[in-house]
Amino acid sequence: MPIRAVQPNVRVVTLNIDGQDLSAREDETIIEVCRENKIPVPSLCWLEGLSVVGACRLCVVEVDGGPRLQAACSTRVREGMRVQTNTDKLQRYRRTLVELLFAERNHVCSVCVSNGHCELQWLAQRCGVDHVRMPYRNASYSVDSSHEMFRVDHNRCVLCTRCVRVCDEIEGAHTWDMMGRGSGCQVVTDLAKPWGDSESCTSCGKCVQVCPTGALVKQGTSVGEMVKDQQFLSILARRRSHR
């Protein structure tokens, strides 16, 4: 779903989220309305200012009591829509999703540069993940420190593709992309060249700032030192949409 330009004369619809009657522009998505109204819906791949991929499924909600869960980030509001954001079933699904992310790669919070500033760590606490019920995969992933300013640790990557999108849509460089399938899937720079050899990378660091975990970090950071700043994104994204 591409970033939409703000259009004049859009209709306003009314909908009900968790028992609250709300109004919204008809071109908004459920997650945008939830964010505006301080209704907490967890998310990971969604980031205001970037296009929508609906990949992580953490923002799933129940719509009109139907059995099929919908991603709040990629579902537009409709007149009369009734949305539930925090049922037992949703909590169970979200918890399992976060546990699977922890089981898939090697997220060792205690020795991670992003400890204390990590969206995955926050999500685990918020979704009630006090342990992981499935066995860990214990697969080994590579670390690329070839870039003079930044580092990518694929052990910490959750494949949210925020780096891919911010590099393409905001910086315009499209250095990042995806390679492989299943457990072998990973983000790559240029055509899977070492990041330090990339000819397209402008070293702007936007990918590092939007990365929710300790996968993309600044060189030279130690445990807990990698604090990210995403303020630039909403400012730049707003300016682009007014072009």
Partner 1 sequence: MSGNGKITVATTWLDGCSGCHMSFLDMDERLVDLAQHIDVVYSPLVDAKELPEHVDLGILEGSISNEEDLHKAREFRARCKLLISLGDCAVNGNVPAMRNPFKLDDVIERAYRENVDLNPQIPTEGVPALLALVQPIHGVVPIDIFVPGCPPHADAIHYVLTELIAGRTPDPGRVTRFGA
Give residues 128-147 in contact with partner 1 (rule: CB under 8 A): 128-133, 135-136, 138-140
Among 115, 186, 200, 221, binds partner 1 (CB under 8 A): 115
| 184 contacts partner 1 (rule: CB under 8 A) | no
| 121 contacts partner 1 (rule: CB under 8 A) | yes
**CA-to-CA distance for 203 and 30, rounded, in angstroms?**
34
| 40 contacts partner 1 (rule: CB under 8 A) | no
| 74 contacts partner 1 (rule: CB under 8 A) | no
Name the nearest CA neighbour of 47 among 181, 175, 169, 204. Answer: 169
| 102 contacts partner 1 (rule: CB under 8 A) | yes
| 227 contacts partner 1 (rule: CB under 8 A) | no
**CA-to-CA distance for 223 and 110, rounded, in angstroms?**
8
Six token digits for residue 16: 């009900």
| 100 contacts partner 1 (rule: CB under 8 A) | no
State the minimum distance, in angstroms, from the CB of residue 224 to partner 1: 8
Number of residues binding to partner 1, judged by CB under 8 A? 25
**CB nearer partner 1, residue 9 or residue 142:** 142
**Beta-carbon contacts of residue 127 (< 8 Å; ≥ 6 apart):** 42, 91, 94, 95, 98
| 106 contacts partner 1 (rule: CB under 8 A) | yes
The Cα-based distances of 192 to 116, 148, 170, 171 in angstroms read 30, 17, 21, 19
**Beta-carbon contacts of residue 51 (< 8 Å; ≥ 6 apart):** 1, 2, 3, 165, 169
| 111 contacts partner 1 (rule: CB under 8 A) | yes
Number of CB atoms found within 10 A of residue 27's CB: 15
Per CB under 8 A, residues contacting partner 1 are 102, 106-112, 115-116, 121-122, 124-125, 128-133, 135-136, 138-140
